[in-house]
Structure 1
Amino acid sequence: MKLSRRIWLKLSSAFAWSGPAAIASAEETAAAAKEINPAMPFGTDHKRLDSLAVGNWWDKKANGRNAPPSMIVPRDEVVAFAVYTQANGVLKLTAQLFPLKPDEQREARLELQKDGQWVEIAKEEVLFPGWSAHFRVEDWDGSKTVPYRVRHGNEAMFEGTIRKDPIDQETIVVANMSCNSSRTTGERHEIVENLLHQDPDLLFFAGDQTYRHTEHTAGWIEFGLQFRDVIKDRPTICTPDDHDVGQPNLWGENGRLSTLPGNADGGFMFPAEYVNMVQRQQSWHLPDPPDAEPIERGITVYFTTMKVGGIDFVILEDRKFKSGPAGKIPKMGPRPDHINDPSYDPATIDLPGLVLLGERQLNLLKTWGQDWEDVQMKCVLSQTAFCGAVHMHGSETGRLLADLDCNGWPQTGRRKALEEIRRAKAIHLCGDQHLGVVVKHGIDQYGDGPYGFTSPALVNTIYGRWWHPEDEKPGPNPVPNSPLPWTGDFKDGLGNKISMMAYANPPNVKDEKQRADGYGVVRFNKKTQEVTLECWPRFSDAKKGDSEQFPGWPIQVAVADYDGRKPVGFLPELKFDAEANPVVQVVSDDTGEIIYTQRVAGATFRPPVFAEGTYTVHVGKKKAGEASFASLSIADAEAAIDVVLA
């Protein structure tokens, strides 16, 4: 029997919802076919969602000056691109396909090159809606570089390379990117060419990979076409942000349904199936989340950890659990999330019960911060900044006192997050703010918290932002010899202490080459325990060297300075083999609090402490604890301890 297009689509959709490993009975297939309309897979109330990639997509054409690329391509080009990670002996790879026609097979194949021959190792269903296929390969040998290709049918193919883990490299390079405006269509060749020259070991896209909102599949394919020449050969982390899931702002509120314009009541405005499709396309390939329980409405989570070359990354979802401000705090500006009342007290909006990261992610941070097996340095990745390092929003005259969309609010949640990041001796990378910034966070005092690097917008046609103090003066303790006039210690509009180290204001948002578009490059030197932060304009030429960077960069910071508290004293000196590079953990005997955990280099280390008292020191090769020394105090500081590690 030959199926009509309509019936065929319904039946294939019935299988696709269940995932690549599911088998549906005839009864289940018939029931699902009745429930799912392939032209409106997210329901009749959401006819516009993903419209360019569902139904009779071949009869549709996006119109307008900034339209996405056509979904109609030669059939030997239907495999658009692929993203992958490899960690913990598992390769996870997502292949993104253009929409398939009813008579085309909904199956993709993964092949690896072995001994010069291509070997098929897996077949997976192409899922609808979204047209993505997901491959998981166990017992992956991360010490080898392996060519791969994804195939569909007889001719369609996308090729790349699974890089070996660069554990033997002294320096690991990460590209920090976000906010890829869909109003500027076409290639991103000027960025890609720089990235190919800089050759990062890891790509981090922090969010807003697309601003297509209701057309995520078309927007995601557009993003992939723009960056696939650099993505295809490198592990890539993508974390969806508000615009990826079709919202102007996102306070996830554990997955509830948002109903207010602007979404300040908290939650997701579109069906869970659409949100899950976005997350599946962008983030399925990340390492498995250690706490995978979905949130409300069955929305999935992806927060997890990942090691690359001895650098340990924790990947956070800083929007997923955060409280929305509407109805919880008084309205003090034109919107529930914008504050312009100069007389307001920041403490009055830091209310009990408000959530930032949520307990699940705080628990992950605590566990991750203590685990240093095969790890030399640590880094936190999330969507947005833990402060409001912006004065002007939208225009050079659009001064805004406080923006609750940033992670500077709620302040108690910010404090909890920064304390865990500091405890782990980690640096923080993010995007979202459209303004390239490096700050040293303050928790109790200026400079006592970790460093944070916010990447500029890759393409900044959506929303300009500026750092521009009203008095046009630097703060106390400005950066010596900086070419930037307004560095130093400031409070953001939420009362949070920050030390501004560098910012990349756009000179002219109407001029494409003066909008401050760009991206970050972060170099982790495992031997010196230093990190170099670079910020590159979109139209720079990286081959010409550091002079092409934004003024104020590059910036070099040391792991030893990540915890900026001033020690009140030091515990006894630890002495060990110069090649040991042990993990040292200091715990307060009085409170049981872990003060910090870090890997140290050299033959000696004197643990600093920040309050009088007695402490237990744990030392180990991979994890703290192989040797323990209890009840050590500042008074014992003249003593020295020889540490013998088995």
Structure 2
Amino acid sequence: MKKIIVFVFIILSYFSFAQKKNVLEITRNQTPSDRICFALYTVHNNIVKLTAQFYPIKDYEPFRAILQIKKGADWETVQESEIEYPGYTAHFRIEKWDDSQEATYRVVHNNKAFYEGTIQKNPIHKKEITMAAFSCWSLYERHGGQIPATDIVDNLKKLKPDVLFFSGDQAYDHSEHYKYWLKFGESFGDIIRNTPTICLVDDHDVGQGNLWGNGGKKINNRDGDEGGYYMPVSYIKEVERAQTSHLPDPYDPTPIEQGIGVYYTQMTWGGISFAIIEDRKFKSGPKRVLEKKRYADTRDMNVEGASLLGQRQLDFLEDWTTKWQDAEMKAVLSQTIFTNLATHSPTIDKKQGYSTDSNGWPQAGRNKALSVIRKSYSCMIAGDQHLGSVVQHGIEDWNNAGYSFAVPAAANFWMRWWNPEEKGKNHIKGMPDYTGEYEDAFHNKMTVHAVANPTHKDNSPREDLLKGRAAGYGIIKFNKEKRETTFECWERNVDMFAPGSKPYNGWPVTFSQLDNFKIKDGFELPIIKINQANQVVTVRNYYTSEVILSLRIKGNQFQPKVMQSGKYTIEVGEAKNIKRFYEIDAVKKNKEVLQVSL
């Protein structure tokens, strides 16, 4: 009995030591003057929201922080905030913010730690808005993780993007999010502190191998396919508080099951409106809705009751479609893209049948999401797939929904390939053989424009774990003057500004805003000529009032095209200055002119 007690004591002592060691790894070099690790912020609708991330508060140090703004040579205290635990985060909110001016801020703790950054002015007058986008930032050496991320940060300091987007998996440890979140901040803090940053939560962030959130249900395994969350609610809340509380206020803050919060919302910056969605949180777990483990025909998996975005987020996207205040172009940001692109994983020799973790499933949910997103001519940006790609989606036909960019993993251990057996239909001569029109594993229509496949064939150890694994990140350029979007996919450890530097083969990919809802053989409404330029035009079904399309046009003239004949309502203008025209017929080769005076 004594031997058992001694053994148990040794085991408990070991785990206690291991926990202390983890804390020591975080704090061993920290003094009271280094207590603040990093800070993230966004600006939307003249509201600044900022989250300051602290190292562990020690001894008798206060659980309180101060936010100051520099006024001339002086620092003005604008707000105080409690430091929340677990997670050690302080949250600030400033309303009636003048976003036409740049401002220097600093977070202060105990009058010993000072952390400075810049709240940028709204770049609404810039002709082109640049976003840098990342996914899957693993710090494990076996994944090719690097600390600090000097190759990326040095490029970004030269590029000076207008907004940063981290689509998920910023932390790969499944039980110590806080520790690895700090390391993420240490890697990217020097660019985050000065740049509006959008950050989402994905499966590894919340301690799971995969995540089908299923509206917040409790599950009993980390695999996640049952549908729900494995970790304690306090852990989930700490993760979302750290990574998303600086985002603009949620569209509908009503919690889901277990009291887990939501953060889906919109953010308008520099004339670009971003819909920020949680495509994992409401998605059905395959074990809950599918009768079989494997299906010979994946079309049989399109079962009733299987949800993707959930009705709440579909309602949000519908509402966002017609909101164009201060916006000229739109984009949807999510954890992953709406297709199942990969054919092989984790080696080129292992063919992958289908993946319910992708947003190619459930098919009906995928089609519902795309049918709403295309109404505002939005492109899509995401990550998660460990396979950089540009795809144009189709629903009823190829290419009649938006373009998506899945940015590659920043540290890519689990590799995937797009390696179809044949060229796609309507393949363009000179393009790689894997481009063209295809159906994915769930028979969803997609046109593949570019893919960054790994050149490594397997996961065998190599001295340079990033080379050949198609690791990297995305640069997105929204040209408001031309109404064009350009996707660039860049490899790690490449100087973007060196002579001769190029993105991955197949990039850049440039497309028109109107390509995000391309109708080959449709029906035309009258040519709308407006006495004021750059107005919002919205088309609704006359009988149901359902929105068919909505965008801020470029110039004074636009001819809407719809998929079905019938009668429509046309709305021109926005806010309180809208002209409506009822029972307008959509016909082939419509040459009528509708003159509009606002």
TM-score range, shorter chain: over 0.9
* TM-score, normalisation: structure 2: 0.92
Matches within 5 A, 1:626-637: 626-634=579-587, 637=590
5+ residue gaps, structure 2, are 1-10
Match for residue 465 of structure 1 among 416, 427, 432 = 416
- Tell me if the contact between 1:584 and 1:624 (Cα under 8 Å) persists in the aligned partners: no
Any idea what the Cα deviations from partners look like across 1:532-579, whole Å, max 9, x if unmatched? 1111111111103674200000010101111122143322211123x5
In 1, Cα distance between equivalents of 2:117 and 2:523: 53
Q: 1:490 to 1:624 in 2, by over 3 A?
A: farther
5+ residue gaps, structure 1, are 1-46, 334-340
Match for residue 537 of structure 2 among 584, 603, 621 = 584
| 1:218 corresponds to 2:166 | no
| 1:328 corresponds to 2:289 | yes
SS in 2 for 1:365: helix
Matches within 5 A, 1:530-609: 530-544=484-498, 547-577=501-531, 580-609=533-562
Percent of paired sites with the same residue: 41
Superposition RMSD on alpha carbons, in Å?
Answer: 2.2
Any idea what the Cα deviations from partners look like across 1:86-120, whole Å, max 9, x if unmatched? 11121110000000113111111111101221111
- Tell me if the contact between 1:441 and 1:449 (Cα under 8 Å) persists in the aligned partners: yes
Letter in 1 for 2:419: H
In 2, Cα distance between equivalents of 1:633 and 1:531: 29
Show the counterpart of 1:515.
469
SS in 2 for 1:218: helix
Letter in 1 for 2:573: G
Q: 1:199 to 1:479 in 2, by over 3 A?
A: farther
SS in 2 for 1:93: strand
- Tell me if the contact between 1:460 and 1:516 (Cα under 8 Å) persists in the aligned partners: yes
Q: 1:111 to 1:481 in 2, by over 3 A?
A: same
In 2, Cα distance between equivalents of 1:68 and 1:410: 43
Matches within 5 A, 1:374-393: 374-393=326-345
Show the counterpart of 1:126.
83
Letter in 2 for 1:264: D
After TM superposition, the structure 1 stretch with the greater mean CA deviation from structure 2, 114-123 or 214-223, is 114-123
In 2, Cα distance between equivalents of 1:551 and 1:405: 27
Matches within 5 A, 1:400-479: 400-461=352-413, 463-469=414-420, 471=421, 473-479=422-428
Matches within 5 A, 1:179-258: 179-183=136-140, 184-258=145-219
Shift of 1:505: 0.6
Shift of 1:610: 1.9
Count residues with an aligned counterpart.
577
Any idea what the Cα deviations from partners look like across 1:501-557, whole Å, max 9, x if unmatched? 000011125442221111111111111110011111111111036742000000101
SS in 1 for 2:210: coil
Letter in 2 for 1:315: I
Q: 1:635 to 1:323 in 2, by over 3 A?
A: closer
In 2, Cα distance between equivalents of 1:257 and 1:383: 21
In 2, Cα distance between equivalents of 1:390 and 1:539: 25
In 1, Cα distance between equivalents of 2:453 and 2:217: 36
- Tell me if the contact between 2:27 and 2:55 (Cα under 8 Å) persists in the aligned partners: no
Match for residue 172 of structure 1 among 106, 114, 129 = 129
Letter in 2 for 1:423: K
After TM superposition, the structure 1 stretch with the greater mean CA deviation from structure 2, 554-563 or 502-511, is 502-511
Any idea what the Cα deviations from partners look like across 1:364-403, whole Å, max 9, x if unmatched? 0000001112110011000011110101122222211100
In 2, Cα distance between equivalents of 1:623 and 1:356: 35
Match for residue 352 of structure 1 among 304, 310, 326 = 304
Q: 1:275 to 1:632 in 2, by over 3 A?
A: same
SS in 2 for 1:614: strand
- Tell me if the contact between 1:447 and 1:499 (Cα under 8 Å) persists in the aligned partners: yes
After TM superposition, the structure 1 stretch with the greater mean CA deviation from structure 2, 633-642 or 228-237, is 633-642
In 2, Cα distance between equivalents of 1:131 and 1:526: 40
- Tell me if the contact between 1:68 and 1:185 (Cα under 8 Å) persists in the aligned partners: no
Show the counterpart of 1:641.
594
Displaced runs of 4 or more, over 6 A? none
Show the counterpart of 2:119.
162
SS in 2 for 1:317: coil
- Tell me if the contact between 1:541 and 1:548 (Cα under 8 Å) persists in the aligned partners: no
